[in-house]
Chains A and B, each alone.
Chain A
């Protein structure tokens, strides 16, 4: 567990430690297109920083983890936590998204200029 984790993020990390993460068809496509390995996704969930927690009414909670690396993270993993299941919904590269910027080890929403 990383300091400042939401409950959902720490639950996802526990499931990752047990190897009990499922993958959606879209996530498989995204990982294939971007050549991101499942092991990298697992490491991101287990050790990467939680960058966002998305809650939607009547829907599962989604947690975004950034890649676990000493350098600037290249990708983020979106995980749906719907107890007891934890599913990887999608994976995206930060370079494909214009809305994130690197700020002291964590990718955060770009501030409006």
Chain B
């Protein structure tokens, strides 16, 4: 497969694609595509394109009740692009709230989003909730600077 723009050979890669259906968008991981290293152009085979469209349109057309409102630890970690351990740390120090369903934690999507929107959320503590004095001072300095704006 050659790039339509620069004519360079496009190797097949596994990538993440942000797909849309009307106003609805969804990020799908593990999509196979041909990617040009030079101009970042992506080309999808028919099968892959059809699968992307079916997933996106299917989710977009499902009712609000059918859309997943609750996430597990792995999904929250994926959403925030952090490790599972960081999610547990955030849960431990109160930056995230969750509900126990059997042995597993369930997070409300709204809670996760609102926690991220909260300006006082400090996501630097990825080590068991521990922030060193030096880091604490640096964070306080950043927050002071933010107030000054």
Chain A residues packing against B (C-beta within 8 Å): 19-25, 28-29, 31-33, 35, 37-38, 60, 80, 82, 85, 87, 89
CB-CB nearest in chain B for A62: B4
Contacts of B56 in A (CB 8 A): 32
Contact of A35 among B1, B21, B34, B46 (CB under 8 A): B21
**Which of B36-44, B62-70, B133-141 is near enough to bind chain A?**
B36-44
Minimal beta-carbon separation of A33 from chain B (angstroms): 6
- Whole-angstrom distance between the alpha carbons of A31 and B50 in the complex? 11
Which residue in A33, A82, A89 is a CB contact (below 8 Å) of B20? A33
With A28-B52, A32-B53, A38-B53 as contacts: A23 and B43 at CB distance below 8 Å:
yes
B4 and A82 contacting across the interface, CB-CB below 8 Å:
yes
**CB-CB under 8 A for A31 and B53, given A80-B4, A82-B4, A85-B1:** yes
In the complex the two chains form, is A25's CB within 8 Å of B42's CB? Answer: yes
Which B residues between 58 and 78 are near A, CB-CB below 8 angstroms?
A: none
What are 29 A-B interface contacts by the 8 Å CB criterion? A19-B46, A22-B34, A22-B45, A22-B46, A22-B49, A23-B46, A24-B42, A24-B43, A25-B17, A25-B41, A28-B17, A28-B44, A28-B52, A28-B53, A31-B53, A32-B20, A32-B21, A32-B53, A33-B20, A33-B22, A35-B21, A35-B57, A37-B57, A38-B46, A38-B49, A38-B50, A38-B53, A85-B1, A87-B43
A contact patch SS: mixed
The distance from the CB of B59 to the nearest CB of chain A, in whole angstroms, is: 12
Output the nearest chain B residue to A39 by Cβ-Cβ distance.
B50
Other A-B pairs beyond A22-B44, A85-B2, 12, CB < 8 Å: A19-B46, A22-B1, A24-B4, A24-B44, A25-B44, A28-B44, A31-B53, A32-B25, A35-B22, A38-B49, A38-B53, A60-B4
Interface residue tally for chain B (C-beta within 8 Å): 23
List the 3 shortest-distance A-B pairs measured between CB atoms, nearest first. A32-B20, A25-B42, A23-B49
Q: CB distance A82 to B21 under 8 Å?
A: no
The smallest beta-carbon distance between A25 and chain B, in angstroms, is 4
Check: B19 CB closer than 8 A to any chain A CB. yes
Give the docked Cα–Cα distance between A33 and B4 (Å): 22
Q: Are A28 and B19 in contact (CB under 8 A)?
A: yes
A32 partner residues in chain B, CB cutoff 8 A: 19-22, 25, 53, 56
